[in-house]
């Protein structure tokens, strides 16, 4: 590992993820972002929930918490309200973030506390062996939808936008440099930033959907993920099998919660004098 980002890891690789799992690529993109930002790891926090994505915190040399399923954002809210001076990263997955953690997800978007969330979307519950998640595409197979999913799926970015998130971006494991850029931009945004990292699960998702080889999954992602500017120029028909990557929403003048609380304290204490 390159020493410039090796310093952000505990010396405990290999990680738990399967061969060809996209999550390792996300982790390395994140490490390059942290290196670019030049962060002091003692002033950084990484929090995750449960699932494949959430195992990431075990490898990161920061103050780390591998919390309960779906609740990473609640713990992160606590950390930030206790110590707004600390930099908080949250890692989640499609199931952890938008199913069991869905309520916390929308309220974190709404509340706008300064933190950077990386949601690794592999379209499946990998850790439990391949059950469909709210982000499994319609018609795709999983152990709990062996005949193809009849559940409509979430577009996480649209969900976040709808809930008022002030920074919403998407990138993917093929455009790994771009993913780093998105994480850096999200971190630099003052407020709640969410970055969907389109990842891959060859074992639990690919095997049941015709792409058991990580190379094929990578090619599909390369094909599917298009820069937003180019995506916007596509016809509706062309858009059908594509998803836009890049910054999808950024609101710079929204009140950030911990700053608002500071102001509230000043106001209340000033009034009391």
Partner 1 sequence: MAKKSYDVQVVSKLCKACGLCVHLCPKNVFDRAKDGRAVPARPEDCIGCGTCELHCPDFCVETKEKEGE
Partner 2 sequence: MANVRLVQGNEACALGALKAGAYNFFGYPITPSTEIAEHMAEMMPKCGARFVQMEDEIASIGAVIGAAATGRKAFTATSGPGFSLMQEAIGFAAIDEVPCVVVDVQRMGPCTGLPTLSAQGDIQQARFGSHGDHAIIALAPSSVMETYYMTIQCFNLAEKYRTPVILLLDEEIGHLRERFDVDPDEEVEIINRKQPTCAPEDYLPYENTEDDVPAMAYWGKGYRYHMTGLTHNQKGYYSSVLPEVDAFNRRLTRKIEGHIDEFWESEDFFVDDCDYLFIAYGSVARTAQEAMEELRAEGIKVGLLRPKTIWPINEAKIKKACEGKKAVIVPELNLGQYAREIERVIGKPVEKVTRVDSELVLVEECVDKVKEVLK
Listed ranges 83-91, 119-127, 212-220, 225-233: which one lies at the site for partner 2 (CB under 8 A): 83-91
Torsion of CA 7, 11, 13, 17, to 10 degrees: -70
User: Is 148 a residue that touches partner 2 (CB under 8 A)?
Assistant: no
Report the site for partner 1 in 188-247 (rule: CB under 8 A): 202, 213-215, 218
Count the alpha carbons within 13 Å of 210 in the hemisphere toward its beta carbon.
5
Assess contact for 197 and 180: CB atoms under 8 A.
Answer: no
Long-range contact set of residues 268-273: C-beta below 8 Å, sequence gap at least 24: none
Q: How many residues bind partner 1 (CB under 8 A)?
A: 25
Q: Compute the least distance from the CB of residue 13 to partner 1, in Å.
A: 6
The DSSP H or E segment spanning 117 is: strand 115-121
User: Is 99 a residue that touches partner 2 (CB under 8 A)?
Assistant: no
Nearer of residues 232 and 266 to partner 2, judged by Cβ: 266
Count the alpha carbons within 13 Å of 18 in the hemisphere toward its beta carbon.
18
Q: How many residues bind partner 2 (CB under 8 A)?
A: 40
Q: Compute the least distance from the CB of residue 87 to partner 1, in Å.
A: 23
Q: Compute the least distance from the CB of residue 69 to partner 1, in Å.
A: 24
User: Is 128 a residue that touches partner 2 (CB under 8 A)?
Assistant: no
Measured between alpha carbons, how far is 128 from 147 in angstroms, rounded to an integer? 19
Q: Which residues make up the interface to partner 1 (CB under 8 A)?
A: 1-2, 13-15, 17-25, 28-29, 173-174, 176-177, 202, 213-215, 218
């Amino acid at each position: 590992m390159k020493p410039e980002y090796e310093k952000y890891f505990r010396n405990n690789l290999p990680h738990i993820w399967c061969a060809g799992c996209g999550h390792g690529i996300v982790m390395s993109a994140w490490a390059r972002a942290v290196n670019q930002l030049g962060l002091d790891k003692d002033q950084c926090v990484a929090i995750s929930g449960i699932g494949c994505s959430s195992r990431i915190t075990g490898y990161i040399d920061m103050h780390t918490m591998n919390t309960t399923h779906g609740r990473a954002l609640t713990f992160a809210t606590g950390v930030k309200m206790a110590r707004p001076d600390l930099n908080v990263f949250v890692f989640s997955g499609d199931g952890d973030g938008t199913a069991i953690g869905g309520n916390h997800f929308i309220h974190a978007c709404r509340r706008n506390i300064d933190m950077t969330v990386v949601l690794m979307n592999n379209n499946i519950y990998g850790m439990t062996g391949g059950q469909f998640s709210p982000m499994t595409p319609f018609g795709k197979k999983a152990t709990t939808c062996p005949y193809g999913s009849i559940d409509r799926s979430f577009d996480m970015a649209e969900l976040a936008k709808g809930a008022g998130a002030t920074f919403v971006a998407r990138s993917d494991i093929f455009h790994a440099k771009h993913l780093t850029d998105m994480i850096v931009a999200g971190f630099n945004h003052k407020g709640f930033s969410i970055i969907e990292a389109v990842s891959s699960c060859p074992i639990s998702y690919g095997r049941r959907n015709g792409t058991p080889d990580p190379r094929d999954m990578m090619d599909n992602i390369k094909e599917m993920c298009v820069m937003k500017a180019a995506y916007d120029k596509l016809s509706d028909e062309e858009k059908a099998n594509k998803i836009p990557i890049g910054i999808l929403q950024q609101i710079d003048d929204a009140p950030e919660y911990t700053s608002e609380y500071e102001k509230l304290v000043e106001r209340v204490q000033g009034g009391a004098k």
